[in-house]
Structure 1
Amino acid sequence: MPFKKLILPLKDTIANKGFEEPLAFQKQILSKIKGGASLFAIAPKDSGKTTSIVISVIQRLKSAFEDAPRALIFVRDKQAALELELEFNLYKRGTDLRVYCAYEEYDIEKQREEIYIGTDIVIATPKRLNRIFYLNGINLNKLQMCIVEDADLLFRGSHFAEITRTPESIGKCQYLIFSTEFDKRFERWQDSFMYNAQIVKAKKQ
């Protein structure tokens, strides 16, 4: 999907950053994501995976709508959440999309209150997201996109089971798993909520 097909605010931001066309791996996946496909996106570092997440979510959601989040992105820790939030804030200029981070190093009651006020995109660590959901602090009924950033790094901890719980609580959704390699544990997801997902691996240069 060429950048010229993006919504105007996003296209302007990308042009201002000096990007003329997608990276090679982005050319492989952006149009598939826009088409609604669930993907295992497998590529090495610096292939444009994080930027693909940001562009795809903004392109899909376009503007703020109601209170419940429509995109959920799992990250490994607070630092990763804040870094991704910064990327969203840079690329969503010209839109009114709302981004919220949920991680352990913050008062959970305040997080529940702030999420309740309304957000479009939630960036969360798996453990904190599940804790908030358990406390009825987040509505996932409107979720359209469920994304895992750097899945291989997440799985080095005990996050696999935490992430797996979320699809059990939501309806139809687009799932996007980004990783540097295809983990054998992904096969469990293929047998359940990602049974129709495509596997897209970066082409060798």
Structure 2
Amino acid sequence: MSFADLGLSDELLQAVEAAGYTEPTPIQAQTIPPVLMMKDLIGIAQTGTGKTAAFVLPMIDILGHGRRRALMPRSLILEPTRELAAQVAENFEKYGKNHDLKMALLIGGVQMGDQLKALSAGVDVLIATPGRLMDLFERGKIMLTGCELLVIDEADRMLDMGFIPDIETICSKLPANRQTLLFSATMPPVIKKLADRFLTSPKYVEVARPASTNTNIAQHKVMVSARKKREALRQLLRTDNVGTAIIFANRKTTVRELAKSLKRHGFSAGEIHGDMDQPARNAELERFKAGEISILCASDVAARGLDVKGVSHVFNFDTPWHPDDYVHRIGRTGRGGASGRAFTFVAPEDAEAIANVEKLTGGAIPVYELAAEADHETAVEAKPARASRSRPARDEKPKREPRAEAKSETFAEQRAERAPRREPRVEEPRRGRRRDAVDTQEDGSWNGPVPAFLSVSALN
């Protein structure tokens, strides 16, 4: 099957061909025709299957006819993160170059002025994160009554991030007579309830078992203590034929520290996490895509939706707390039919987390045994200590020690003989104090004057 068999316009087919694609992926082949027929749709697909193009391509043809109105977007795409929203915008620019469509990106972390200017001029496609959209809507800066098409992308991620109440509010503000597309990697009960409420007789498309992992990805777990993780990571980066890699950690502080550590050891590494503002995150991501850095340390803000070609490895520096995050993390490699490798570091305290991951993915992840070279740096540092153990035979050692000891004692005796002998001083009792009073400290030790009957040398 080719893209021409799906009913797309010639202009759109030219843009797809120029982008280097000739055959649709399974999710695209099953999704594009019903979307072009203006049906509601639920798409269940794992990450990396071409899901974004599955709704972007038909939307371009659907929106090719019609006119724009100020502050009233004709279509709305909701994304859970800024990175995903930016990626969808890139897809519209790439595939919609032969169509007269206006697009606006409505995300946090950037100045609102340009976004409001674009909305005022009228847009065909509004790509937004729920938080920024709700902010502008409550300020009266945007109207949703003219929206003809709604896309809820990464719905299960929306649930994890607590956006479901916002999505319900947004859906209630849209026209009842609209087309709605919902995409998710999994279908938990809350998402099913959302779909039942806001979609009308949807077409159900599923191209893989929910939360299944890509068969093109060789998965491994590395059993290692928490303090040995960095050493194990460096060994794998040096020995496993790593081209480009994304390293995921559970905490933003770990991401920052890990990036600094890798740079100190000579690796070309960058970082992306939630504490960075949007321009800095975009700049770091562009450096990674351009090949200026080969390693990107990331928190889960980047786990879903990042589409970077040629990522050979994914490392879970921390076993993810949520098993769904494991699927989406390792999905950054093995994309577009290419093969990839994923390593997950499992410390003793991660036993429950890795068990949940393996339960979700449907099988045990093979253990990867690190080669002995993992302790090379420690071994090099330990060599001088081992070399210093080579000492003269033991029978030589006692010959010196008694001489030194005797010499020391003789010197002390000679010094004692030369020193003038002094009589011990007896302190007079203090006024108002009984002569026979006993001075002791709290621990019972003597704290009073030296008695006359004790013969005490000043030298002792």
Show the counterpart of 1:164: 168
Q: How does 1:122-161 map to 2 (within 5 A)?
A: 122-161=126-165
1:111 has 2:115 as partner = yes
The number of aligned residues is 205
Partner SS for 1:14:
helix
Partner deviation per Cα, 1:144-183 (whole Å, 9 max, x = no partner) = 1100122222222111111111111111111111111112
Show the counterpart of 2:30: 28
Partner deviation per Cα, 1:180-205 (whole Å, 9 max, x = no partner) = 11121123224422252232211579
Partner deviation per Cα, 1:116-147 (whole Å, 9 max, x = no partner) = 12111000000111111122211222211100
Q: How does 1:64-83 map to 2 (within 5 A)?
A: 65-67=67-69, 68-83=72-87
Partner SS for 2:28:
helix
Label 1:185 to 1:195 Cα distance change in 2 as closer, same or farther (>3 A). Answer: farther
C-alpha contact 1:63 1:96 (8 A) present in aligned 2: no
Which is greater in Rg?
A: 2
TM-score w.r.t. the length of structure 2 is: 0.42
User: For the residues of structure 2 that align with 1:137 and 1:198, how far apart are their CA atoms?
Assistant: 34
Partner deviation per Cα, 1:85-123 (whole Å, 9 max, x = no partner) = 111101111111011111121334553343112111000
Aligned-pair Cα RMSD in Å:
2.1
TM-score w.r.t. the length of structure 1 is: 0.91
Q: Unpaired runs of 5+ in structure 1? A: none
Label 1:61 to 1:87 Cα distance change in 2 as closer, same or farther (>3 A). Answer: same
- Give the AA of the match of 1:69: P
Name the structure, 1 or 2, with higher relative contact order (CA <8 Å, separation 6+). 1
Show the counterpart of 2:102: 98
Q: Unpaired runs of 5+ in structure 2? A: 210-214, 216-460
Show the counterpart of 2:207: 202
User: For the residues of structure 1 that align with 2:121 and 2:114, how far apart are their CA atoms?
Assistant: 11
* Identical amino acids, percent of aligned pairs: 24
Partner SS for 1:185:
helix
C-alpha contact 1:74 1:125 (8 A) present in aligned 2: yes
Show the counterpart of 1:176: 181
C-alpha contact 2:44 2:208 (8 A) present in aligned 1: no
User: For the residues of structure 2 that align with 1:96 and 1:63, how far apart are their CA atoms?
Assistant: 9
User: For the residues of structure 2 that align with 1:24 and 1:187, how far apart are their CA atoms?
Assistant: 23
Label 1:91 to 1:138 Cα distance change in 2 as closer, same or farther (>3 A). Answer: same
User: For the residues of structure 2 that align with 1:81 and 1:187, how far apart are their CA atoms?
Assistant: 23
User: For the residues of structure 1 that align with 2:118 and 2:195, how far apart are their CA atoms?
Assistant: 34
C-alpha contact 2:158 2:164 (8 A) present in aligned 1: yes
1:11 positional shift: 0.8
Show the counterpart of 1:3: 3
- Give the AA of the match of 2:87: E
